[in-house]
Amino acid sequence: MRGARRPGGGRALATALALGSAVVGLSACSNQGGQALAQQACVHVNRSVQDYLRSVRVGTPPATVALLQKEADQELRTALPLAAQANSDDGSWNSLMTTISEGATVDEGHLVPSLRAQCVVADSNPNVNPQSPGSGTTPQNVNPNPASPAG
């Protein structure tokens, strides 16, 4: 004798599998570039830095210090997967991802300068020397006749 089946159980399972496949497929096809993901991570990094710096101000009550540092830590944990995705898309974001991950073992005060510097890069315009296609114009700060490596 067969076991009792739930009415619609097969359809529910098929729907769940289809939805799960769609989510996985869409996340794999993300069209966000590494810089956009790094910028999203830096929103959380900047919040973390602000919370951390507020926590170390002289005269901050101990309970407030603990709360702010907990919030700062949470913001870094939220930033890490975004930085990892940015790094996966564009390996130049490895330093941002690594610095954020160091927050788990290193006091954030030691990381603040690096975090700030890396987020300045993320928030800057990556195309510093735009060139019109076919213009043949070399930006002023680029040497049109670089010396050979031999010298």
- What would the pLDDT profile of 62-103 be if each residue is shown by its tens digit? 999 999 999 999 999 999 999 999 999 999 999 999 999 999
Cβ atoms within 10 Å of 86's Cβ, excluding its own: 27
d(CA 89, CA 44): 19
Structural domain harbouring 77: 32-122
Cβ atoms within 10 Å of 93's Cβ, excluding its own: 24
Instruction: Note whether residue 113 is domain-resident.
Output: yes
Domain count, the chain: 1
Instruction: Note whether residue 2 is domain-resident.
Output: no
Using an 8 Å Cβ cutoff, are 73 and 103 in contact? yes
Instruction: Note whether residue 97 is domain-resident.
Output: yes
Instruction: Note whether residue 131 is domain-resident.
Output: no
φ, ψ for residue 64, nearest 5 deg = -70, -40
Instruction: Note whether residue 22 is domain-resident.
Output: no
Instruction: Note whether residue 15 is domain-resident.
Output: no
Q: What is the pTM of this model?
A: 0.64
